[in-house]
Amino acid sequence: MASRRRLVRLDHGVGRAFDAAGDAQRAQQVAHEGGLAGAKFALQFNKGLAQAGQGGQPGGEGGGVVLAAPVQPGRGRAFYNADVTVHDAPFDVQVLWSRVGAWARELGFSQVGVADVDLSAAEPGLMQWLAAGFHGSMDYMAAHGLKRARPAELVPGTVSVITARMDYLPRATLPDWQDAELARLTRPHEGIVSVYARGRDYHKVVRGRLQKLQDRIAAEIGPFGHRVFSDSAPVLEAELAARSGQGWRGKHTLVLSREGGSMFFLGEIYLDLALPPTAPVGDHCGRCQACIDICPTGAIVAPYRLDARRCISYLTIEHHGSIDEELRPLIGNRIYGCDDCQTVCPWNKYAGRSTLPDFDAREGMSGSTLVELFGWSEDEFLRRTEGSPIRRIGHERWLRNIAIALGNALAALPADDRGRDGLRRALQTRAEHPSDIVREHVRWALGR
């Protein structure tokens, strides 16, 4: 699509620091006043213009301010001088959105939506959750504060957010997968890795495909400011997803879809292009509280309220250091994450299978024994988890988690069970491990 560039000026001084979320709106107004009524445009950063706040007069012709909705990856400060990309052939938003949906499906996404950037209604709940300490040792959540609920502060100039969900059940998943996953809990010798982590690191898959989606949109309408995210920045992903119609917040706080359950990843494209929001959907949990009832540690302290400090996913992935002895027996044989609240959810009978091979289970990540997994050297751990989300916890926490599971297996087996000897021998191989954390958890396990 052909496009032309025109500088849009607002001559009332260079000293005013405009609110980033308002820049696009004001630029549209100025564009209208400048004879560009009816044009559809995206705002693009002009690399040759000066950064606001660096001193001197910003670039442009003859002083004044050239408005922008500035977005540039890797920059934390707003750029207020830019030019407007004006499309000579205005695009039809409905036609564009139907194409976006088709492109998204080609890339492996099951649904896309659009949310606006006003998340102010979610701010009190976020601050209350943080004030209660429910984020545990995830200090980065408190450090970012309300930026998580203010997209235009995270990426100045953002006026819309495209949300996307990507199913992650492996392609060969059987219809009775929920029963099969729950059955793993009855096999104390087996180490359970959360379903989402058995394949490739979703951060890379989702972000890469979101970038390809953005490229397709830009090829259609011209360049625009954007950044893509997937669980990789201070973003209220579930809130944005719910507002854009991806589903509703379940009582376990995850997003639920009538068409796809909750076994999916979320991703976002922050953009400086105004798109009409897609409609949210209603809550369909009703009186069901299966997720609350099954939670092994009571981490879902009330409907829609999660205390991460008790959540097994937090304890085995996010938490560094020693795990509270009170909680260790409740972890069972879960060594990375926990899917219990999802496997019992009635809506997950509709969970979609991934169309991508990326999320198929890797060798060793499904059905392996605790003894086998505990025997991995650090080099083997790094080799087997290359490109996997599991690698981020490191070998020390991997051993810590499995030591707990081995201790729980010892406690679950009868005293005369021959399998106990193999479990104890495995634990004793790490009794003199260099890590204080590993040694402490091994001692606890041997005492079970």
Give the catalytic positions in this structure. Answer: 231
166 phi and psi angles, rounded to 5 deg: -130, 115
CB-based contacts of 320, cutoff 8 Å, min separation 6 = 137, 397
Decide: 292 and 256 in contact? Cβ < 8 Å.
no
Decide: 230 and 266 in contact? Cβ < 8 Å.
yes
Question: 359, 340, 360, 174: which is closest to 254 by C-alpha?
Answer: 340
CB-based contacts of 176, cutoff 8 Å, min separation 6 = none
Which helix (H) or strand (E) segment is 42 a member of?
Answer: strand 41-44
CB-based contacts of 103, cutoff 8 Å, min separation 6 = 213, 216, 217
Angle of helix 436-446 versus helix 419-428 axis, rounded to 10: 160
| Helices and strands (H, E) in the chain, number of each type | 17, 15
Q: Angle CA(398)–CA(403)–CA(406) in degrees, nearest 5?
A: 125
Q: Angle CA(80)–CA(85)–CA(91) in degrees, nearest 5?
A: 130
43 phi and psi angles, rounded to 5 deg: -100, 130
Sign of the C-alpha dihedral computed for residues 358, 361, 364 and 370 taken in this order: positive
- Residue 26, classified by CB atoms within 10 Å of its CB into exposed (0-12), middle (13-18) or buried (19+), is middle
The number of angstroms, rounded, from the C-alpha of 244 to the middle of its chain's C-alpha atoms is 16
Distances (CA, A) of 34 to 8, 101, 158, 230, 302: 8, 34, 23, 38, 55
